[in-house]
Every structure is written in structure tokens, then in C-alpha cells.
Structure 1
Amino acid sequence: MGTVHEVMDQAGQLAQVSHDALSDRLAVLVTARYALAARKLGQEQADWQPLRELCHDLAALRRGDHAAGWLHIEQERLADERKERDQDLNELFLKWARNPEIRDAICRGYISREDRLALLKQQMFGDLDELLKKAHPGHPQPPASPFENVKPAPTNQAADCPACAEAASALPPTRHEPEPSR
């Protein structure tokens, strides 16, 4: 019985070293059992039959593990093929879309964002300029922005005289030009 414990300890140590599947660990155990049985060859003939059955079951389990491993490899290969095929198809489509005749056919009926906004503005507000002209004929139209006619002061310009340079240095820094209203 001491030898069995020794063999089991060795199988446990081997299993700890390898982080393989259960069937791999069982294979180590059965190998240890076969080694133990070979030492006792001739002493206990009855121990061989259960060992053979266990070996047969273990072989079937290992075949299943190998089939699962093969299936995993095949799935990875198919995923790689699918990715490559999609890239090839995208490249082919882009090449196809560069053809001016095909590009015109694809873009037929396309309205740019700016054109859509202009159409929407026209539908929502109509022509405001025409309405304002009709409402107040003869009156000049107000500018779109009160800052429209304001010109910014020149920046970083050297003064002609020392007094002007001194006055310019005492002024606060100039502000940036305001954005025109939309």
C-alpha cells in the first residue's frame, strides 16, 4: 500500500506541474498505475482487468479532448479566413466605388448636409429677406450683426512717436474680433 501512496503522490506532483486537461492528469495516474502493476507482475492478476477498462475509457476521453482541440483550431482558422475575406471584400468594394460611373450611380439622390439644412430652413421659414422687403419697402435692411461694420484695431503696430507708444502701452490689451452672428 505504501507504493500506491508513493505513486499517487508522484502523479499529484506531476499534475500540479502541468495545468492540462483532466484527461491529461488521468493519463498520468493510469501510467503510474501501470508502472505499479508491472512491478507486481504475476502477483495479482485480477488487478489488470479493471486497469485495462480504465485505460480504454481514458483513451476515449483523450480522443474527445483531442477532437475538441482540433475543433478549436479549426474555428480559429475559419475566423481568420472570414476576417481576411471581409478585408478583401472591403478593398474590392472601395476599388469598385472609385469608378466614376459607379460612384455617380451610388450617390444619385444624395443630398449633402448643407443642402438638407438649406431645404429645411426654406421649408420652416420661407424667404425671410423677401418678407422683410415686402413689409418695409423703401427702408434699408438692418445689418445682420451690430458688429458687422466694425473693423478691429490693428495689433502689434509700431507707434510713430514716443508719446503714442507710451499711450498704447497704457491701454488694456485688444480684444479678439467677435464672431459674426449667423
Structure 2
Amino acid sequence: MRDPEFKREKKASVISTYAVITQPVHDLSAWYKRTLIWETARPYIYMRTTKDNRVIIGGLDETTASADKRNSLLTQKKNKLLQACRQLFPGLHLQPAYYLAAFYGGTNDGLPMIGIYDEYPDWYFLFAYGDSGIVYSMMLAKMLRDVIVAGTHPDLSLYRQNRSAPHAEPMV
């Protein structure tokens, strides 16, 4: 049996994303109400502050699902993220405390998936991607509990990896 350390799923995609967390910044008064900034251009950039006066800058996603490629871009992405924040706030003295690269996944319909595959008998895969991944994980974990204990769950077909695309009902 193969080791499914990172199971690929054709209805899911994985990208690489980057973030920088600064050292605490002494004066954030130029940042109006410390409002979240989300630039919708592609690749996007977001910026926000923390309670301890740090700035988190993230984005500049890449389509690669290769850890080596993702990691090779980390220093370049860190510098570009800091530069983007400095362009908006030239008076801020930003020093990176932490910077990271991570995978970020999603599905083509935005829903989580339960994968059940012939090549992995007695294994269940829970794919809970995106911003709601923790909520989806809890929801599908309860569903998988029922599948394991009772043999099924009434909503299992909605979340299987081989589900059909949802069909819109006509408006009457």
C-alpha cells in the first residue's frame, strides 16, 4: 500500500501563498483605524495589524504545488510584500520577525470532500480546504464517524469526491 502523505484530488487545486509578520511597529497612526486592506488585483495582497502592533502582509500567490519551488521564492516574496506595505505607508519602520510560505487549497465548487478510494481500502480522506476548512473539518468528521460506525450517512453523496456538479432548480 502506498503512503498517501499528500493525496492529490482532481477536483481540488493547491497553490502556494506567502506571508510576513513584522516586529512590533512603534507608531501605526498613519494606518486609518488599522483597517484591513485587501487588494483585489491578481496576485492579491492583504495587510492587517495585530493587537501587539505587528503588521501581517500576505498574498502574492503562485500556482505551484511544489514545495521546493514554493520555498525557493520565499525571500523574494517576503521582500515584495514588505515593499508593497512600504509603498502605502512609507513612514512605517517595518522589520520582518517571521515569514512563511504555505500551501492553500480549494475545490472547484467550494465544498469540502470525503475521498473514498479503491486503492486505499479502509481509509477515508477528508479534504477541507479554504477559509472555512476548520468548520468543514468538524462537519465532515462527524459525518465520517457515522460512516465508520453505522456504515453510511444520509448526506455522504453530497461530499464524495465523485459527486455531480450541483444543478440549479428552476425558479417558479
TM range (shorter): under 0.3
TM-score normalized by the length of structure 1: 0.18
Which has the larger share of strand?
2
State which structure, 1 or 2, has the greater radius of gyration over its C-alpha atoms. 1
Q: Which has the higher contact order (CA 8 A, sep 6+)?
A: 2
TM-score normalized by the length of structure 2: 0.19
